[in-house]
Structure 1
């Protein structure tokens, strides 16, 4: 059976663009303006205070992983207030080497890795639609192991380093997404996968995308009445079942068009459309341009 979470990550194709070592000592504070792109922090040693605009401040400790899908303005600091130093995340992204906050000499109180993701896909907004504004993963042994490996790959330039960082970025992202498959997640696929009645439905929809599904068939898989299933799916996933299926079919279609290995008619059949014209009408309505135009523009 299909694994929707794996499909999403494959579709996004995440890469860690950079991961700068960051350390701090004494009393310090740094204010970053809005970045707008997905960024992350891997805490290696010690702790600091994170205050993301619009959210309550929280403590980030050794072994934690923080993912900010849109990276609004934020302040990171020691636990004793200090005048903030203002920094531009775009400028930091271009720099290499360790960033040091506070006292510039002596053993640091905290060590971390800070970096950003890029996604080699047509619609990186897909990640934003799946995750909360702040993802903070704590107490995960698996995550701690990945954090340690990412730290080693960042500080020790061995052969295959770029490939390893890319694969580790994928695994870190999956662990972060797994942590949100609960009621704390916003309405969407991840929250749906955390619902035992809906998880099987979503897996079937992804596994058999070419199936001519009806709400009644999906309700039967969920062992719910048609009306109860429709209400529960819409509330949990954020859209009605057929709307979700349409959106996922269009994501797959965009990916296949980008690959340029199948004709439009073959793609239509692959994702469950009985005719090329019906697929073209649906794609144009959903994406804003016909499939052939889209294929030429990406």
Structure 2
């Protein structure tokens, strides 16, 4: 399995139902964050305003994926000074999946959805970009975008029994392909750029294939086919953090996942994430989370039980995008 697929399985990508927005100028919608968003401009044009970044002009056929769940706005051209309508308020007052807003001007149709990561603190997620923009060419999206979004649009308009499942599976494919597009075209530092660099990708693949190995910078450099100094510089510049910091974060996230399992012992988890002793693992884990492994496990299970998810010994249920969408969108 390729590394992108492996990591997306680790972070547990889940997509939610989509809604079809029919918007006539002037209009301005605010998405307050908390969900990782997907927007497909089916027709018309609009402006994406991501907090802290310059506005992006979007047109028919454009796809935008927001992997970091950042607050943002969509609006008609020239709407910057208008009051923004909350997308959540619009959804609450409109039954069904087709939502309408705005005035009497130019029509823009946007298919909007959301997705979650079951492990949003995974080190790879921190390295995802804030915005993945797959632009259309002369109003025509790339073939893979057209195929998937056409099916999504049909489900959003005409959905029947099983429609949410269909849209979730289509969205999984759309998000994955968008991340692959960014991997192949972007040049800013991040985990996806690391996959595009053949030397760094070999090191990343080695780490994820055998997290328990006694990795050092020198050992990872050998896996990458570079000298130690050249590898350290290249990894840091490409991924955005030093190799051992990435390794440490990856091991701790895996340890937290394993500790949630009912029968995993601290000693067993230690050996599976590359620590020679339970004591050294406990020190590293406490540094990362602020409490020892046993206390962290008890706290995690207490939170699960308090939330009504079952007895303290039960593993935590997955976070579903459908539930998140119902609460926030």
Query: Which of the five TM-score ranges fits, normalised by the shorter chain?
Result: 0.7 to 0.9
The separation in 2 between residues aligned to 1:35 and 1:202, in whole angstroms, is 30
Aligned ranges for residues 278-289 of structure 1 at < 5 Å? 278-289=280-291
Given the two structures, how large is their TM-score scaled by the length of structure 1? 0.85
> After TM superposition, where is structure 1 displaced by more than 4 Å over at least 4 residues in a row?
80-83
Q: Which residue of 2 aligns with 1:227?
A: 229
1:39 aligns to 2:37 (yes or no): yes
Summarize the Cα distance change of 1:163–1:183 in structure 2 as closer, same or farther, 3 Å threshold.
closer
Summarize the Cα distance change of 1:250–1:93 in structure 2 as closer, same or farther, 3 Å threshold.
farther
Summarize the Cα distance change of 1:248–1:155 in structure 2 as closer, same or farther, 3 Å threshold.
same
Offset of residue 233 of structure 1: 0.8
Offset of residue 282 of structure 1: 1.2
| Alignment gaps of 5+ in structure 1 | none
Q: Which residue of 2 aligns with 1:59?
A: 57
Aligned counterpart for 2:117 among listed residues 116, 119, 135: 119
Q: What do the CA deviations read for 1:216-235 (whole angstroms, capped 9, x no partner)?
A: 22212222211111111112
Give the match's secondary structure for 1:260: coil
The separation in 2 between residues aligned to 1:91 and 1:126, in whole angstroms, is 33
Aligned ranges for residues 3-152 of structure 1 at < 5 Å? 3-25=2-24, 27-32=25-30, 34-68=32-66, 69-77=68-76, 79=77, 84-94=82-92, 95-97=94-96, 98-103=98-103, 109-121=107-119, 123=121, 127=125, 129-138=126-135, 139-152=141-154
Contact 2:270 2:277 in 1 (8 A): yes
- How many residues get paired? 292
Contact 2:37 2:69 in 1 (8 A): yes
Offset of residue 293 of structure 1: 2.4
Given the two structures, how large is their TM-score scaled by the length of structure 2? 0.78
Cα RMSD after superposing both structures: 2.8
The separation in 2 between residues aligned to 1:261 and 1:149, in whole angstroms, is 43
Q: What do the CA deviations read for 1:191-231 (whole angstroms, capped 9, x no partner)?
A: 21111221111111111111112222221222221111111
The separation in 1 between residues aligned to 2:260 and 2:170, in whole angstroms, is 25
Q: What do the CA deviations read for 1:14-36 (whole angstroms, capped 9, x no partner)?
A: 333342111134x3121426334
Contact 2:91 2:99 in 1 (8 A): no
Contact 1:28 1:83 in 2 (8 A): no
Summarize the Cα distance change of 1:46–1:198 in structure 2 as closer, same or farther, 3 Å threshold.
same
Contact 1:64 1:144 in 2 (8 A): no
Q: Which residue of 1 aligns with 2:316?
A: none
| Alignment gaps of 5+ in structure 2 | 136-140, 301-329
The separation in 1 between residues aligned to 2:71 and 2:193, in whole angstroms, is 23
Aligned counterpart for 1:244 among listed residues 238, 243, 246: 246
Aligned counterpart for 1:171 among listed residues 173, 193, 211: 173
The separation in 2 between residues aligned to 1:251 and 1:82, in whole angstroms, is 41
Q: What do the CA deviations read for 1:67-91 (whole angstroms, capped 9, x no partner)?
A: 22233242410x4659735212332
Greater shift in the superposed pair: 253-262 or 191-200: 253-262
Give the match's secondary structure for 1:180: helix
Q: What do the CA deviations read for 1:83-108 (whole angstroms, capped 9, x no partner)?
A: 73521233235454322234569xx7
Q: Which residue of 1 aligns with 2:322?
A: none
The separation in 2 between residues aligned to 1:96 and 1:136, in whole angstroms, is 30
Give the match's secondary structure for 1:221: helix
